[in-house]
């Protein structure tokens, strides 16, 4: 497999698409798919139109990234906007893409786009892996619908993001772009694809049972105690100071986690919004009568976690390219040490083409655990040579 990465910070969205595509397809004879990530400040349709002007045949899928992206060239960011794309090519690679706005039922939407993507690939059987990009809500239901059609094959990807958690994000696939929906790319290949999905947090001994949940993502009680009060007790924070989005940043080094049934995945749950009744909203689905664990890390842990995850992807595996989905919340907390984060990632990746997108949700699996949705996490994928 061959890969190339290109980017642009042109002011004009169309011109940014052209420049990105020219750089990303340099030396690539038959580009199969472009994984595209842009600023919310761009007109996404114009970026894609620019890309298609350079190469009409390339299949494009991606989303907006929070504040920046990373490529081998560095941290790509600008007040006027940015775009970056990784292009993959291999004689033994076939890609099928499809997307849709939410519709009435996200699970049915997932089924429909899975069938459309198979048709787009010219296949009647399941792929070896798939990329999912969705808006930051109901990802679990899109995933179930997709799996209804193709089964539980390995998956990777993340949720669209914006710069201020105000809903400006976009998902895009080919000529479509929208703020609420899902896009997928099915990978049919003989080459290995390896994903490591992790929060890279440490567990504490603070653990409780979720005793009341509302609307999938609102934890009302832990151990029959108002959830925010229990969280404050564990962390030593003041519950009254965690109302609204005050909780969003304060909770990043002290996130929560839930384990898969076999314990192979510790999926991070990011406490995001504190409510007046001392419940709080999290960034992914939770269930009553399950255990939730307080986690901990610091900026060093966030940076080192990315390095360790890259090393795990590369363990006994020779990638031709790496697609690194990195939570935007982690980037926010890393703050002015983001240059250090880039250097650490670049050194760990080495000379392999890569792109980092900053998302508001991350997807993956470990050790046959089944596909999982998390937050404050890393979903790092390698494509074999």
HEC string of 180-240 equals CEEEEEEEEECCCEEEEEECCCEEEEEEEEEEEEECCCEEEEECCEEHHHHHHHHHCCCHH
| Model pTM score | 0.96
Summarised one tens digit per residue, pLDDT across range 306-315 is 999 999 999 9
- Contact by Cβ (8 Å): 58, 173: no
Q: Can you read off the two tokens belonging to residue 277?
A: 């009744």
Q: Domain boundaries in the chain?
A: 2-198+301-384, 202-296
- Contact by Cβ (8 Å): 225, 247: no
Q: Name the strands in the sheet holding 2-8, side by side, starting at the edge strand that comes first in the sequence.
A: 2-8, 83-89, 33-38, 59-64, 171-173, 176-178
Report the 3 state secondary structure along the chain. CEEEEEEECCCCHHHHHHHHHHHHCCCCCCCCEEEEEECCCCCHHHHHHHHHHHCCCCEEEEEECCCCEEECCEEECCCCCCEEEEEEECCCEEEEEEEEECCCCHHHHHHHHHHHHHHHHCCCCCCCEEEEEECCCCHHHHHHHHHHHHCCCCEEEEECCCCCCCCCCCEEECCEEECCEEEEEEEEECCCEEEEEECCCEEEEEEEEEEEEECCCEEEEECCEEHHHHHHHHHCCCHHHHCECHHHHHCHHHCEEEECCCCCCEEEECEEEECCCCCEEECCCCCCCCEEEEEECCHHHHHHHHHHHHHHHHCCCCEEEEEEEEEHHHHHHHHHHHHHHHHHHHHHHCCCCEEEEEECCEEECCCCCCCEEECCCEEEEEEEC
- Contact by Cβ (8 Å): 219, 282: yes
Summarised one tens digit per residue, pLDDT across range 80-105 is 999 999 999 999 999 999 999 999 99
| CA atoms of 109 and 195, how far apart (whole Å) | 25
Q: Could you tell me if residue 47 is left (phi over 0), alpha (psi between -120 and 50 degrees) or otherwise beta? A: alpha
Tell me the longest C-alpha to C-alpha distance in the chain. Answer: 60
On average, the pLDDT of the chain sits at: 96
| CA atoms of 101 and 177, how far apart (whole Å) | 9
Q: Can you read off the two tokens belonging to residue 229?
A: 């009060």
- Contact by Cβ (8 Å): 250, 242: yes
Cα 87 vs. chain centroid, distance in angstroms?
18
- pLDDT tens-digit profile, the chain (385 residues): 999 999 999 999 999 999 999 999 999 989 999 999 999 999 999 999 999 999 999 999 999 999 999 999 999 999 999 999 999 999 999 999 999 999 999 999 999 999 999 999 999 999 999 999 999 999 999 999 999 999 999 999 999 999 999 999 999 999 899 999 999 999 999 999 999 999 999 999 999 999 999 999 999 999 999 999 999 999 999 999 999 999 999 999 999 999 988 888 899 999 999 999 999 999 999 999 999 999 999 999 999 999 999 999 999 999 999 999 999 999 999 999 999 999 999 999 999 999 999 999 999 988 778 899 999 999 999 999 9
């Amino acid at each position: 497999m061959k890969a190339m990465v290109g980017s642009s910070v042109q002011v004009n969205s169309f011109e940014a698409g052209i420049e990105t595509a020219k750089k990303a397809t340099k030396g690539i004879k038959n580009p199969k798919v472009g994984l595209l990530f842009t600023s919310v400040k761009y007109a996404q349709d114009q970026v894609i139109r620019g890309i298609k002007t350079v190469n009409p045949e390339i299949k494009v899928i991606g989303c907006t990234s929070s504040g920046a992206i990373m490529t081998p060239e560095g941290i790509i960011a600008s007040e006027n906007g940015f775009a970056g794309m990784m292009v993959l090519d291999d004689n033994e690679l076939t890609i099928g893409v499809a997307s849709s706005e939410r519709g009435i039922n996200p699970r049915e939407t997932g089924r429909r786009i899975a069938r459309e993507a198979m048709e787009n690939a010219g296949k009647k059987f399941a792929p070896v892996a798939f990329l999912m990009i969705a808006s930051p809500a109901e990802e679990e239901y899109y995933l179930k619908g997709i799996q209804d059609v193709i089964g539980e094959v390995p998956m990777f990807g993340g949720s669209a993001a914006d710069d201020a958690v105000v809903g400006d994000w976009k998902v895009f696939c080919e000529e479509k772009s929208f703020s609420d929906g899902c896009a997928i790319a099915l990978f049919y290949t003989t080459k290995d694809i390896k994903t490591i999905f992790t929060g890279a947090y440490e567990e504490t001994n603070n653990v409780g049972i979720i005793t009341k949940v509302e609307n999938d993502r609102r934890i009302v009680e832990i151990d029959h105690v108002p959830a925010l009060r229990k969280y404050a007790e564990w962390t030593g924070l003041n519950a009254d100071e965690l109302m609204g989005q005050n909780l969003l940043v304060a909770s990043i080094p002290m996130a929560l986690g839930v384990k898969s049934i076999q314990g192979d995945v510790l999926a991070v749950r990011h406490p995001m919004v504190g409510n007046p009744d001392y419940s709080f909203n999290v960034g992914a689905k939770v269930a009553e009568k399950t255990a939730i664990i307080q986690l901990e890390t610091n900026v060093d842990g966030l940076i080192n976690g990315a390095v360790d995850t890259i090393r795990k992807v590369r363990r006994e595996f020779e990638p031709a390219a790496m697609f690194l989905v990195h939570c935007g919340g982690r980037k926010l907390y890393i703050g002015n040490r983001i240059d250090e984060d880039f250097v650490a990632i670049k050194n760990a990746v080495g000379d392999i083409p890569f792109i980092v997108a900053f998302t508001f949700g991350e997807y993956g699996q470990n050790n046959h655990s089944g596909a999982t949705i998390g937050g404050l996490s890393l979903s790092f994928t390698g494509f074999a040579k």
